Amino acid sequence: DAGVTQTPRHEVAEKGQTIILKCEPVSGHNDLFWYRQTKIQGLELLSYFRSKSLMEDGGAFKDRFKAEMLNSSFSTLKIQPTEPKDSAVYLCAGGDQNTLYFGAGTRLSVL
């Protein structure tokens, strides 16, 4: 079991850039989540997919954040354009019976 794989582990972007974060979930999990983690806000849900269909697109994050699930084994999170306040750790998680299996995350720094 390779677990959930996220790439890159670290990303540095300039304000206004477009960045794409990648996630390879564990095979067999029907649910896929993108979370943002910061010290102040904690864990915030960005997007949720069930069986590759987008079920929730994160409300306040809709305008510059777009998650896609191209197939059952690959998902991306695009942030366009990036802003300094987007600096955070972005976590992808597969879901199975109410349990979340998180990747190690991508630490994004926006200058």
Partner 1 sequence: QQQVRQSPQSLTVWEGETAILNCSYENSAFDYFPWYQQFPGEGPALLISILSVSDKKEDGRFTIFFNKREKKLSLHIADSQPGDSATYFCAASRTGGYKVVFGSGTRLLVSP
Place of tokens 């806000």: 41
Q: Is residue 88 involved in binding partner 1 (CB under 8 A)?
A: no
Shortest gap between Cβ of 99 and partner 1 (angstroms)?
Answer: 5
Sequence-ordered list of residues with C-beta below 8 angstroms from that of 37, at least 6 positions apart, any chain? 43, 44, 88, 89, 90, 91, 105
Identify residues 24-43 at the interface with partner 1 (CB under 8 A).
31, 42-43
Q: Which member of 24, 45, 74, 76 binds partner 1 (CB under 8 A)?
A: 45
Q: Is residue 54 involved in binding partner 1 (CB under 8 A)?
A: no
Q: Is residue 71 involved in binding partner 1 (CB under 8 A)?
A: no
Q: Is residue 98 involved in binding partner 1 (CB under 8 A)?
A: yes
Identify residues 3-22 at the interface with partner 1 (CB under 8 A).
4
d(CA 60, CA 48): 14
d(CA 85, CA 73): 29
* Nearest partner of 75 among 49, 102, 44, judged by Cα: 49
Residues in contact with partner 1 by the rule CB under 8 A = 4, 31, 42-43, 45, 48, 50, 55-56, 91, 93, 95, 98-105
